[in-house]
């Protein structure tokens, strides 16, 4: 439990925020606008449909030696990708947190910026991969100072299945350093 708290605190403290990029390119992938359906077991997500923000590629991100969750590449293409924490739950698991992240950029052009402007309670996020899909409904949106985030709640391995989507927010203090994190909590739709 203490290790989980330390890892999650490290994740929230810094690893999720992007650096400036040369230019912005919107996602070229058409929105799947998938309907919610059943799934058989767990799967590895490769796409996420984010309501009116469209469909985005999901890339697996591991953890650094100190437990920090990775993030999508710091490239123009990476600005519209979503990172999936391979150290957490897989979509379809009965318990635990499916953790996702996206970059926030100072010029406002990354997916995280778009989510801050448009994603709210009630929105549906659809994860898909390997012919499976699972829908989640956003139940709350919270803003935390990194040192005050309830990391055991956000990154639980034992709680009922949920999804969290984390982006840096607030004021940018420097490369990869923002004053707050915005976390969307979502529950699977049966």
State residue 163's pLDDT score: 96
Pairwise CA distance, residues 131 & 75, whole Å: 28
Pairwise CA distance, residues 84 & 136, whole Å: 15
In the predicted model, what is the mean pLDDT of the chain?
82
Residue 65 backbone class (left: φ over 0; alpha: ψ -120 to 50; beta: rest): alpha
Structure tokens at 151: 């990391």
State residue 147's pLDDT score: 87
Pairwise CA distance, residues 28 & 49, whole Å: 13
Q: Does 21 have pLDDT greater than 50?
A: no
Whether the pTM exceeds 0.85: the reply is: no
Q: Does 71 have pLDDT greater than 50?
A: yes
Q: Does 172 have pLDDT greater than 50?
A: yes
* Cβ atoms of residues 115 and 109 within 8 Å: no
State residue 40's pLDDT score: 73
Window from 2-16, 56-70, 130-144, 171-185 with minimum mean pLDDT: 2-16
State residue 133's pLDDT score: 92
Average pLDDT over residues 129-141: 94
Pairwise CA distance, residues 47 & 59, whole Å: 8
Residue ranges of domains in the chain, CATH in brackets: 2-188 (2.40.260.10)
- Residue 160: enclosing H or E segment and its boundaries? none
């Amino acid at each position: 439990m203490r290790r989980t708290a330390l890892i999650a605190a490290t994740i929230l403290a810094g690893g999720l925020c992007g650096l400036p990029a040369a230019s912005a390119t919107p996602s070229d992938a058409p929105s799947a606008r998938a309907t919610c359906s059943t799934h058989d077991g767990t799967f590895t997500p490769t796409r996420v449909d984010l309501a009116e923000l469209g469909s985005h590629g999901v890339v697996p991100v591991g953890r650094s030696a100190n437990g920090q969750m990775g993030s999508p590449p710091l490239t123009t293409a990476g600005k519209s990708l979503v990172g999936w924490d391979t150290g957490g739950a897989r979509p379809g698991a009965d318990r635990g947190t499916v953790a996702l992240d996206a970059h926030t950029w100072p010029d406002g052009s990354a997916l995280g910026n778009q989510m801050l402007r448009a994603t709210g309670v009630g929105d549906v996020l659809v994860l898909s991969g390997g012919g499976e899909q699972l829908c989640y409904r956003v139940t709350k949106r919270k803003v935390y100072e990194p040192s005050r985030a309830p990391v055991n709640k956000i990154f639980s391995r034992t709680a009922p299945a949920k999804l969290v989507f984390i982006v840096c927010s607030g004021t940018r203090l420097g490369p990869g350093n923002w004053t707050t994190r915005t976390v969307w909590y979502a529950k699977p739709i049966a």
